[in-house]
Amino acid sequence: MTRTHCPYCALQCAMHVESDGAGGHTTRPAPFPTSRGGLCRKGWSAGALLAAPDRLTTPLMRPAKDAPLRPVGWDTALDHVAGRLAALRAERGPDAVAVFGGGGLTNEKSYLLGKFARVALATSQIDYNGRFCMSSAAAAGLRAFGIDRGLPFPVTDLAESDAVLLAGANVAETMPPLMGHLSAPRLIVVDPRRSATAERALAVGGLHLAPRPGTDLALALGILHAVRAEGGLAHGYIEERTTGFDAAWRHCAGWWPERAELTTGVPAADIRAAARILAGAGRAHILTGRGSEQHANGTDTVSAWINLALALGLPGRPGSGYGCLTGQGNGQGGREHGQKADQLPGYRRIDDPAARRHVASVWGIDPGSLPGPGRSASELIDALGTADGPGALLLFGSNPVVSAPGAGRVSPRLAALDLLVVADFVLSETAELADVVLPVTQWAEEDGTMTNLEGRILRRRRAVAPPEGVRSDLEVLHGLAVRLGRSGAEFPADPGTVLAELRAASAGGAADYSGATPERLAAEEALHWPCPDGAGTPRLFLDGFTHPDGRARFTAVDHRDTAEAPDADYPLVATTGRVLAHYQSGAQTRRVPELAAAEPEAFVEVHPDTAAHSGLVDGQWARVVSRRGATEARVRATPGARSDTVFLPFHFAAGQRANLITDTALDPVSRMPEFKACAVRLEPRERAGSGERP
């Protein structure tokens, strides 16, 4: 029996992995503060991932571009990849090669992947799927507080709160154990859907505010307006601990609740009720999730919620605060150590000369040899295979054929590449298109560290030996680096050795892991970064914020419309999200029989009247059509749904991909795509009967 952590979300529930006595493995919960000794359905069934029947155990390669994938040896695969990379770099320069990572990779993998891109390949073209998840909240947190940590306080603080506002976060389905910390506070849930979390809030006397998708910013402005009108501002806190309130208020002053109601659809009485609950709470928290963040104005929207939190005096006040609910398992650590296009280890900016000097000294290279910032994830995908874009892509821990916005554009871009290399443990939808597929270890087969949504650094422990023929991502990077002329010592395959180097590279940075020694991590799991001396910092901002003057910044923001508005041809707004049984692109959970049986197919949640207007009934297969494409889903007629909005989960593949319809418009600051709002129409799927699956 081995104690480790769940392979899914950033709550990172602790679990024991043990043999079932019949060649398989089971999981059961282990004591841990964030999960309170619990697991959700995905965690309980995670052992089934280790026995996936289509597990890859040998490299696959195409002998020619249009030939099928065939098994080859590791040396053959790595020699081929390294040779093609070297040739492309020699012909077209280092930016002819790109790297795409994932928010589920361990800290050690994230770190070495960033180093591999910038040292072994010397390319600026690296980003990761966390750009689709946390980038807007990170950008807003940096400009408000000077630092980005999802929750700057332990999850356990929420249980002592009097009121919690959840903006765009359906935690009852996405992080079920977190609900154990939310049983006492009065909940205000902001979500266009009557989600499971909204139902829980209403059941215990809370509020459900259901704005039109893309209008959260106007709602936040309306609540702040009501807070001030009713005398709820924390004047002393604003004066002593912040700057910029007057400029922010000039935008907010015109958003009285009745005007906010016209834009959002949320009754003015409910806006005022939310303001009274928050202002009257002795301790309160505001938490944002993807629903507020995944918009072309996502950074400004999160800033509006932060402004509300600052006006109430919450951040840095014991028992209160603002936080962002990180999504992917290592979404926090994954963006701190170099996968992101503009960052170096320790959450350092790649265009900061001092940061470049520090990291270069650890890596033993000239700072001038480090590339600058590269393209963001969505822009990188658009550039693949173009005349001035990368001709090769190395992809680790991501499945953009399903997960990227406007997903119909992804396969043609991948097909245009000279070389696509995918490292995965199964043949995902993206791996199916690769020229080379490298079979790598999964969660319970590796050692390393993860960083959860609170900035808590955790040990991932190897519980199971990987199948023969499978290598770790670190071993893959080591093998490629050596073949590209770097020394093996520069790219170690041992996670402990990589962690030691990560600690040195992060030292002095915002995300300082220098005190995260193996001994300290083995002793307990209560080490929150920054931890320069090993003591850790569970609560940030108690004595000041990270800006040079120690003050938090209000940001002047105003509502603007979504990138595309409904019209006669596309009269509805579609929004997307997760469901209880599945996770991200579904590449893992769709392979777990219990979870696949619970949610076997895509659905579109729609008000019965809206369905009838489109010629549809409950249970019928429909086409959801946008300007970018169409997806197919079974109708779920839901009386609590907004009549102008439909919802689709994004976990399914092929013709059921929700991201075939989503908008590729980008936030100007974070480069986050607008996943959560696009104009669509519904129509019956004519080619098959209502009971048939596509």
| 566 inside domain | no
In this structure, the answer to whether residues 64 and 37 fall within a common structural domain is no
CA 494 remoteness from chain centre: 27
| pLDDT at residue 691, as a whole number | 42
Q: Among 19-28, 67-76, 112-121, 244-253, name the one with the lowest average pLDDT.
A: 19-28
Which one, of 390, 357, 352, lies nearest residue 374 by Cα?
390
Query: Looking at the structure, do residues 347 and 484 belong to the same domain, yes or no?
Result: yes
Residues 591 and 650: their CA atoms lie apart, in Å, by 16
For the segment 548-601, what is each residue's pLDDT rounded down to a tens digit?
A: 999 999 999 999 999 999 999 999 999 999 999 999 999 999 999 999 999 999
Q: Write down the residue that tokens 């020619």 correspond to.
A: 64
- 136-195 confidence digits (pLDDT tens): 999 999 999 999 999 999 999 999 999 999 999 999 999 999 999 999 999 999 999 999
Do 578 and 506 lie in one domain? The reply is: no
* Domain-embedded: residue 520: no
Of 329 and 172, more confident: 172
Same domain, 366 and 488: yes
Same domain, 492 and 411: yes
Angle in degrees, CA 333, 314, 177, rounded to 5: 50
Residues 287 and 271 in one domain: yes
Coil, helix or strand for 526?
A: coil
The answer as to whether 153 is a domain residue is yes
Alpha-carbon distance values, 230 to 163, 188, 224 (Å):
18, 18, 10
Burial class (CB in 10 A: 0-12, 13-18, 19+), 104: buried
Residue 690 in this model has a pLDDT that exceeds 80: no
Residue 694 has pLDDT above 80, yes or no: no
Residue in 527, 164, 537 with CA at minimum distance from that of residue 316: 537
pLDDT in the model for residue 258 = 98
Answer yes or no: is pLDDT of 526 > 90.
no
pLDDT in tens, 333-389: 999 999 999 999 999 999 999 999 999 999 999 999 999 999 999 999 999 999 999
Q: Is the pLDDT of residue 266 over 70?
A: yes
Nearest Cα neighbor of 353 from 336, 339, 365, 370 is: 370
Domain boundary among 296, 329, 362: 329
Whether residues 324 and 366 fall in one domain:
no
* Residue whose token pair is 């400009």: 143
Q: Which of 463, 492, 512 delimits the end of a domain?
A: 512
Clarify whether residues 475 and 343 are in a common domain: yes
Q: Are residues 325 and 339 in the same domain?
A: no
The 10s digit of each residue's pLDDT in 384-416 is: 999 999 999 999 999 999 999 999 999 999 999
Query: Is the confidence at residue 251, as pLDDT, over 70?
Result: yes
Q: Which residue reads 């309170």 in tokens?
A: 36
| pTM (global) more than 0.85 | yes
CA distances to 86, 155, 563, 569, 612 from 566, in Å: 48, 39, 10, 8, 19
One domain, residues 112 and 158? no
Question: What is the structure's pLDDT at 141?
Answer: 97
**Domain for residue 129, yes or no?**
no
Domain count of the chain?
4
Q: Which of 407, 535, 525, 401 is nearest to 460 (CA)?
A: 525
Q: What is the CATH number of the domain that holds 631?
A: 2.40.40.20
Query: Could you tell me where the beta strands, DSSP code E, fall in 46-202?
Result: 60-61, 70-71, 97-101, 126-128, 163-167, 186-190
Task: Answer yes or no: is 140 within a domain.
Answer: yes
Residue 391's closest CA among 125, 130, 127? 125
- The residues, any chain, with a CB within 8 Å of residue 412's CB and separated by 6 or more, are none
pLDDT of residue 535: 85
Query: What's the CATH number where 377 sits?
Result: 3.40.50.740
Separation of alpha carbons 323 and 154, rounded Å = 10
Predicted pLDDT at 524: 66
Q: Indicate if the pLDDT at residue 692 is higher than 80.
A: no
Instruction: Give domain status of residue 554, yes or no.
Output: no
Q: Is the residue at 550 inside a domain? A: no
Whether the per-residue pLDDT at 2 is higher than 60: the answer is yes
Question: Which of 525, 532, 496 shows the shortest CA–CA distance to 511?
Answer: 532
Q: Average the pLDDT over 593-612 and give the result.
A: 97
pLDDT score recorded for residue 231? 96
- Residue 146: count other Cβ atoms within 10 Å of its Cβ: 19
SS3 assignment, position 539: coil
pLDDT at residue number 653: 97
Please report whether residue 551 resides in a domain. no
**Enclosing domain of residue 296:** 135-329
Are 325 and 390 within one domain?
no
With 0-12 CB in 10 A as exposed, 13-18 as middle and 19+ as buried, what is 514?
Answer: buried
Query: Residue 633: which pLDDT band, with cuts at 50, 70 and 90?
Result: very high
Structure tokens at 60: 């696959």
Pairwise CA distance, residues 245 & 556, whole Å? 8
User: What is the pLDDT of the chain when averaged over all its residues?
Assistant: 96
- 264 and 388 share a domain? no
Q: For residue range 462-494, what is the model confidence (pLDDT) as tens digits?
A: 999 999 999 999 999 999 999 999 999 999 999
Which CATH number goes with the domain that contains 143? Answer: 3.40.228.10
| Domain end among 512, 535, 558 | 512
Read off the pLDDT of each residue in 629-650 and give the average, rounded to a whole number.
97
Q: For position 24, which CATH number holds? A: 2.20.25.90
